[in-house]
């Protein structure tokens, strides 16, 4: 990435893993996270990832706790790895950092995050990355990787960015985080989010692992109904995934389903959830195209009700 300064916003488990790969090839990559004391820990210990992905004490030289502070570096490539519910605020703060030619990569879980970037800064600025690893934060800069179903997928919204997209994918792959550039990134997002959007709310409401929710007949009945609804929405949006996809999806869930979805921990820790970009986005799309999704609507509203119990909004 000659003459390109890179920044990663959000250094939780996902962002730290991404940062480790980038730092291994681009040591001047800038990390940004508001968590108190994180910078001191990262300067002292670097980033270590164990398990299905391995990095040992990757040094961190540039860290800030505020997005406006990175303007002086003129970053040309910015990865956003925050929770989706803060994405609008992050984009607000990037208004003062963005300049013509800046590219922004959404690595979020959820539907439509790349569209939010495109609406704010133009389609030419927006990339989307579909991450296929599962990681957990043990402490600042210390991550445990449960699985990595290689490769990750990266795509852009305008064809003119293909060459750059391929270059970014090579950079990440060379850094140990196998990534493939794909022509239609939204297809890969749908393939992953059909699973995530469906299981996140079910797991959050029942506090079950993905496997347990699928093995327990009452919650499996809800999941099957939700899968039918979201597949219909995806088809209406131009992505008819068909029966073969369902077989592949359940095979995938059998491998990774022994853990709880992250939304379970959001609820138990009384944190905001990402429901608006998961189940909520499916409901939004369905209303736009005139499709009824009663199960998705119910599960989304139940998560919002649980949030309301502690957030009061």
Domain spans of the chain? 6-183, 187-311
Class of residue 130 by CB neighbours under 10 A (exposed 0-12, middle 13-18, buried 19+) = buried
Class of domain 6-183: alpha beta
Its pTM stands at 0.95
Which pLDDT belongs to residue 249?
86
Which pLDDT belongs to residue 3?
62
Tell me the per-residue pLDDT of 218-229, one tens digit each, with 9 for 90 and over.
Answer: 999 999 999 999
Kindly state the average pLDDT of the residues 96-120: 97
- Work out the pLDDT band at 169, boundaries 50, 70, 90: very high
Q: What residues contact 153, with CB distance under 8 A and at least 6 apart?
A: 129, 130, 132, 179, 180, 181, 182, 185, 188
Which pLDDT belongs to residue 267?
96
Tokens of 6: 């890179």
Is pLDDT at 255 greater than 80 in this prediction?
no
Which pLDDT belongs to residue 1?
52
Share of the chain above pLDDT 90, in %: 90
Kindly state the average pLDDT of the residues 187-205: 95
Q: With residue 155 as reference, give the H or E element that holds it.
A: strand 152-156
Kindly state the average pLDDT of the residues 33-60: 97
Which pLDDT belongs to residue 146?
86
Which pLDDT belongs to residue 2?
56
Kindly state the average pLDDT of the residues 195-206: 96
- Distance between CA atoms of 205 and 298, rounded to whole angstroms? 11
Is pLDDT at 4 greater than 90 in this prediction?
no
Tell me the per-residue pLDDT of 75-90, one tens digit each, with 9 for 90 and over.
Answer: 999 999 999 999 999 9
Which pLDDT belongs to residue 217?
97
Which pLDDT belongs to residue 254?
75
Could you confirm whether domain 187-311 is CATH 2.40.50.100? no
Is pLDDT at 15 greater than 90 in this prediction?
yes
Biggest CA pair distance of the chain: 56
Kindly state the average pLDDT of the residues 188-206: 96
Is pLDDT at 295 greater than 90 in this prediction?
yes
Which pLDDT belongs to residue 258?
79
Which pLDDT belongs to residue 207?
96
Is pLDDT at 38 greater than 70 in this prediction?
yes
Which pLDDT belongs to residue 72?
96
Domains 6-183 and 187-311 agree in fold: no
Which pLDDT belongs to residue 201?
98
Strand-pair partners of 162: none
Phi, psi of 90 (to 5 degrees): -60, -45
Average pLDDT score, the chain:
95
Is pLDDT at 140 greater than 70 in this prediction?
yes
């Amino acid at each position: 990435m000659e003459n390109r300064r890179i920044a990663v916003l959000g250094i939780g488990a996902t962002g730290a893993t991404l940062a480790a790969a980038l730092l291994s090839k681009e040591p001047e990559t800038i990390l940004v996270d508001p968590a108190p004391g994180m910078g001191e820990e990262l300067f002292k210990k670097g980033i270590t990832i164990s398990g299905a992905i391995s990095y040992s004490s990757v040094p961190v030289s540039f860290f800030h706790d505020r997005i406006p502070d990175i303007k002086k570096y003129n970053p040309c490539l910015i990865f956003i790895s925050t929770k989706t519910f803060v994405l609008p605020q992050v984009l607000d703060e990037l208004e003062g950092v963005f300049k013509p030619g800046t590219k922004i990569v959404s690595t979020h879980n959820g539907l439509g995050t790349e569209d939010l970037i495109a609406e704010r800064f133009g389609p030419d600025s927006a990339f989307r990355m579909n991450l296929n690893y599962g990681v957990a934060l043990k402490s600042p800069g210390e991550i445990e990787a449960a699985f990595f179903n290689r490769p990750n997928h990266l795509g852009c919204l305008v064809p003119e960015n293909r060459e750059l997209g391929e270059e970014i994918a090579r950079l990440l792959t060379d850094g140990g985080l196998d990534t493939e550039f794909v022509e239609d990134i939204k297809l890969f997002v749908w393939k992953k989010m059909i699973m995530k959007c469906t299981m996140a709310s079910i797991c959050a409401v029942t506090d079950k692992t993905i496997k347990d929710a699928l093995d327990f007949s009452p919650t499996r009945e809800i999941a099957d109904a939700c899968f039918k609804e979201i597949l219909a929405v995806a088809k209406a949006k131009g992505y008819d995934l068909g029966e073969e996809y369902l077989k592949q999806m359940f095979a995938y869930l059998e491998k990774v389903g022994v853990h709880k979805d992250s939304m379970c921990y959001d609820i138990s820790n009384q944190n905001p959830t990402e429901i608006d970009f998961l189940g909520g986005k499916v409901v939004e799309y369905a209303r736009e195209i005139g499709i009824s999704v009663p199960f998705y609507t119910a599960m989304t509203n139940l998560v919002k009700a649980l949030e309301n119990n502690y957030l009061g909004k």
